[in-house]
Amino acid sequence: MLPENAGEPRSHAFLILSRGGILRTSEDEMEMPSPSLLWLPSQGGERIRIDAGARGYMLSVDDDFLTRTISSAPEGSLLRPVLNRLALLPPQHLHGRADEIAQSFLALAREVRSPDRVSMAILGAHLTLIGLHIWRLAQGDAPAEVGVRGTGHHVLQQFRQLVELRYREQWSIGRYAAALGVTEDRLHAVCVRNAGHPPRALVCDRVIQDACMRLQQMDVPIEQIAFSLGFKDPGYFNRFFKKQVGVPPGVYRRRVKAQRAGSTGSYAAWP
């Protein structure tokens, strides 16, 4: 089990090395022979029955950690579409790699049991490696996939998570869409339908939220705030902020300070 946040959706992987089991979905029932590798994204409602005496490994990872890991990996654009769907890789697709993949499961278990300063990096590396094995083995002959389960709400959730990680890097909407494994049109439709705003507006809202917090709480030059938010030109930041908020950042900061000073003065006048 990888780092967990209470209540967070979780994805799972099962590596079956002996005996087997049954995978039940809302539409089908499939055998899981040995060796086989199963990836279950968090939004599914599948049920699994493992045979008595079966040997293998199970991985459970919350979606926030999974999103951070994939988005920071150079191969993230490859992994996102694969890990968004349920995939069952039977023996003929593992091509004798089951023992090699098992080493990553073992490494993950060791790091969880005895964490240290570099454990998070090692966890991310082996999680990425398992994802790459799934991607590689799923190429060519189509594996026994059971539908693509990329619901609109799930895509929106992943987009918001990715925005939280990357909004200071001034990513284009095309780059967000590529990292999520969807087209720009699909991302736009999902955001408008489920959040009421296009993706660009959601990114701008997150930038403005951070900018307002910094202007209220940090006594540093506005240019420094602009650079910390990924703006290369403070003048562009001023125009962006005014367009979104209605006033330039300097005016916004002065108004906040004046409101706080007035509030403090009113308390001093109390008996």
- pLDDT (tens digit per residue) in 23-45: 887 767 888 888 999 998 887 67
pLDDT attached to residue 147 = 33
Give the whole-angstrom CA distance, residue 94 versus residue 36.
Answer: 7
pLDDT attached to residue 104 = 95
Give the whole-angstrom CA distance, residue 14 versus residue 30.
Answer: 14
CATH architecture classification, 152-260: Orthogonal Bundle (1.10)
pLDDT attached to residue 86 = 86
**DSSP bridge partners of 12:** 40, 60
Query: How many Cβ atoms are within 10 Å of 155's Cβ, its own excluded?
Result: 22
pLDDT attached to residue 253 = 93
- pLDDT (tens digit per residue) in 86-126: 888 888 888 788 999 999 999 999 999 999 889 999 999 99
Going through the chain in order, the beta strands assigned E by DSSP cover 10-18, 21-24, 29-32, 36-40, 47-50, 55-62, 87-89, 144-145
Q: Which of 218, 214, 220, 180 is nearest to 199 (CA)?
A: 180
pLDDT attached to residue 249 = 96
Query: How many Cβ atoms are within 10 Å of 59's Cβ, its own excluded?
Result: 21
pLDDT attached to residue 44 = 67
Instruction: Show the CA angle centred on residue 144, arms to residues 143 and 149, nearest 5°.
Output: 105
Mean pLDDT by 10 residues, the chain (271 residues): 59 92 79 90 80 92 85 76 84 87 94 90 93 81 38 78 87 90 90 92 93 90 94 95 95 89 47 32
Give the sheet arrangement for strand 21-24, strand by strand.
Answer: 29-32, 21-24, 47-50
Domain ranges of the chain: 10-145, 152-260
pLDDT attached to residue 153 = 73
- pLDDT (tens digit per residue) in 148-160: 344 577 788 788 8
30 φ, ψ to 5°? -130, 145
pTM for the whole thing?
0.55
Q: Is residue 130 a contact partner of residue 75, using CB atoms and an 8 Å limit?
A: no
CATH (residue range 10-145): 2.60.120
Judge if the upstream peptide bond of residue 41 is cis by omega within 30 degrees of 0: no
